[in-house]
Structures are given as structure tokens and as C-alpha cells.
Amino acid sequence: MDFNAVIVNLQSLPEDKQWQCLENIKKNAADMKARLEENLDRKESAAGIPATGMAVLRQQHALIQTIEAWIESMSCV
């Protein structure tokens, strides 16, 4: 996901569309975070999961947390 493009172009939208976009991002981020956490829980205790695969899952989880913090910093959603 090219999230930088979303952030840069968000202000070019009408205000009501900005909030709608943020709501959509918030919902999608929450859904993705739940799936990632479930996946991490399952794979952390499983044998044979490559360290690189776990690193990617943890990186994706950290990214989602950062996106959630950014949305909350907008103090509108």
C-alpha cells in the first residue's frame, strides 16, 4: 500500500470525503490488525516458521499500529 500517496493527497479531497476516507482506513486497519494478530499468535508457537516470515508479520503489525496512531492524531475519527 502506498500510504504516503494517501496522506499527501488527503487534503485535496473535500472535507467530508477526507473524514470518509479516514473512517475507511481506520476500519480496514482494524480488520487487518485483527488478522495479523491472529496469524502471529498461531505462528509464534508453530514449529518450522522461518524467522524471515515472522519478521515480515511483525513489520506489518508495526505498520498497522503506526497507521492507527496517525489516524488518532487526526483527532477527528
How many other CB atoms are found less than 10 A from the CB of residue 64? 20
- pLDDT (0 to 100) of residue 4: 82
- pLDDT (0 to 100) of residue 5: 87
75 close to 69: Cβ distance less than 8 angstroms:
no
Q: Which domain holds residue 18?
A: 3-73
In this predicted model, what pLDDT tens digit does every residue of 1-38 receive, in sequence order?
A: 577 888 888 889 998 899 899 999 999 999 999 999 99
- pLDDT (0 to 100) of residue 75: 64
- pLDDT (0 to 100) of residue 57: 94
- With a pLDDT cut of 70, the percent of the chain lying above it is 95
Please give the model's pTM, rounded to 2 decimal places: 0.79
Q: How many domains does the chain have?
A: 1
